[in-house]
Amino acid sequence: MKIIPTNIPDVIILEPKVFGDSRGFFFESFNQLAFSKATGLDVQFVQDNHSRSAKGVLRGLHYQIQHPQGKLVRVTHGRVFDVAVDIRRSSPTFGQWEGVELNAENHRQLWVPAGFAHGFVVLSDSADFLYKTTDYYAPEYERCIAWNDPAIDINWQYDGEPQLSGKDKQGLLLKDAELFA
C-alpha cells in the first residue's frame, strides 16, 4: 500500500497494491494491520456504507457533532471528486479543504479523520461510493456545511449545477455551524 500525503497532514491518500492478470485484478481493499502500519493510525471501523449516485449529485458536506466518524472512502464504479474540510477550531488547517479524484481505475482511497466535514460530487454518469466509518450513524447529531461556502471556496472540479438533497440545500456556512473544539 502506497501512502500519499496531502496538504492537510491528517488527510491521507492510500493506493493499494493491485494484482492484475488475464482474469482481471485483485487487491485487498482493506487490511487492518497493513492500514495501521502504513498510516500509524490505531482506528477500528464499525460500519460499511455503499451509496450510488448519478452524475452531478453532490452529497455533503456532512459530519456528526457527537460520535464523529473517521471515514475511509473509495469508488468502485465511476469517478467522484471527494472533499474533506477541517472543521476543528484548534487546528492549524482549520477551514482548509483537500480534494482528490477517486475512481474505479486508480483504486485510490481517502482517509478522512473525525473532525472533518466530508462530501463528494459525481463526475461520471454514475458512481458507486463505498466507505468504512469509525463510529455509527447518529442522525440526530448529523450536521451539514454548505458545499459552496465562500469562506471555504472549494473547487469541486464539476462544471454543472450539482444536484443536492433537501438537507444539503440547507447546509450552514462554516461561520454559523456547530464545530469541533
Ligand X SMILES: Cc1cn([C@H]2C[C@H](O)[C@@H](COP(=O)(O)OP(=O)(O)O[C@H]3O[C@H](C)C(=O)[C@H](O)[C@H]3O)O2)c(=O)[nH]c1=O
Q: Is 62 a catalytic residue?
A: yes
Q: How many CB atoms lie within 10 A of CB 180?
A: 17
Which residue of the set 62, 67, 77, 141 is catalytic?
Answer: 62
Min dist CB 108 to ligand X, Å, is 16
- Ordered DSSP codes for 12-58: EEEE---EEETTEEE--S--HHHHHHHH-------EEEEEEEETTBE
Min dist CB 18 to ligand X, Å, is 25
How many chain residues interact with ligand X (CB under 6 A)?
A: 11
Q: Which stretch binds ligand X (CB under 6 A): 4-12, 54-62, 90-98, 150-158?
A: 54-62
Min dist CB 167 to ligand X, Å, is 6
Among 26, 165, 169, 176, binds ligand X (CB under 6 A): 165
Residue 18, phi then psi, degrees to nearest 5: -105, 130
Among 11, 13, 60, 84, binds ligand X (CB under 6 A): 60
Min dist CB 114 to ligand X, Å, is 12
Q: What span, in angstroms and rounded, lies between the C-alpha atoms of 36 and 28?
A: 14
Collapsed DSSP state (helix, strand, coil) of residue 175: helix
Four-residue CA torsion sign, 127, 159, 109, 84: negative
- Which H or E run contains 119? strand 116-122
Draw the binding track, 116-155, toward ligand X (x: CB under 6 A; -: no contact): --xxx----------------x------------------
Residue 59 engages ligand X in binding (rule: CB under 6 A) = yes
For residue 29, what are the contacts with CB-CB under 8 A and spacing of at least 6? 16, 74, 109
What are the grid coordinates assigned to 117, written together? Answer: 466535514
Query: For residues 23 and 50, which CB has a smaller minimum distance to ligand X in the complex?
Result: 50
List of residues contacting ligand X (CB under 6 A) = 49, 51, 59-60, 62, 71, 118-120, 137, 165
**Active-site amino acid positions:** 62, 131
